[in-house]
A = this chain, B = another copy of it.
Amino acid sequence: MQRYFIDTAMTAAPGTTVTLTGEIAHHIVRVMRMAPKDKVELVFPHQQAYVAELTQTTPTVAARLIAQLSFNSELPVAVTIACGLSKKDKADWIVQKGTELGAQAFVFFASTYAIAKWDPKKQVKKLERLQKIARDAARQSHRLVVPEVRYQKNVTALCQLPKDQGVVAYEEAAKAGETAQLVQVTQQLKPGQRVIGVFGPEGGFAPQEVTQLNAAGFTTVGLGPRILRAETAPMYYLSALSTILELQTPVVQSAYSE
């Protein structure tokens, strides 16, 4: 079923009729060619999702809420993925896949070795474009949240973002065989906490940037023994968080892990 995100705060309850406008109305009528009685899913702010039935499609589009959906597709913690500026299609890709894998926000930041630069004049347009990719991916992956995409001018600004936990993926840690930190810090997370995962650009971090992040409370973590590209590391991190926090661990330990 098609899922749409409603931006306006409103009291949603079964029986309420909602008028749908703009891009949503366009998608329902022109792209999907839906008719009255067709069903859609509508997600309201504060992560409430409803099944709704279209009551009319002309001259305006309206739908009546039928029942609230209880299935929760969100990670138990609010994850921000912070990435050094990468070439254009890599940012698109990080936002699309990261949204599917459960990130709640993305921050792109300028850093010492970043190959790409964001022209200040084009920043607003770039963020709008990435925000649209996040919205489309959130619909496709049946999220309750559309992740927000932001820009930070350097690592110092990144260090000032509010967080309950921060980690930084540093290639040198992986090369040195660091394998203990990620599981350890992730298991310390409590539901609802905010975690920021920081990933370097294609050119990697400058050592002083890692020192600065460590001083600001970001733990250096290794993501296994293989060298991952700038855009692959955040995907590993989000999948690992889901594996640790969302999949059940059997009580009996296996022969392998002994």
List chain A positions with a Cβ less than 8 A from chain B: 71-74, 97, 100-102, 140-143, 175, 177, 179-180, 182-184, 187-191, 222-229, 232, 235-236, 239-240, 242-250, 253-257
Q: With A101-B236, A140-B229, A255-B190 in contact, do A224 and B250 touch (Cβ < 8 Å)?
A: no
The number of times this chain is found in the oligomer is 2
Contact of A100 among B183, B187, B191, B226 (CB under 8 A): B226
11 pairs of residues in contact across A and B, judged by CB atoms under 8 Å: A73-B227, A100-B229, A100-B232, A140-B227, A141-B226, A142-B226, A180-B247, A187-B254, A191-B256, A245-B256, A249-B257
Does the CB pair A225–B101 fall under 8 Å?
Answer: no
Does the CB pair B225–A256 fall under 8 Å?
Answer: no
| CB nearest neighbor in B for A224 | B242
Closest Cβ–Cβ distance, residue A18 to chain B (whole Å): 24
Q: Which residues of B contact A255 (CB under 8 A)?
A: 188, 190
What is the bound-complex CA distance between A77 and B240, given in angstroms? 18
Q: Which residues of B contact A141 (CB under 8 A)?
A: 226-229
What is the bound-complex CA distance between A191 and B254, given in angstroms? 12
Contact of A184 among B101, B229, B250 (CB under 8 A): B250
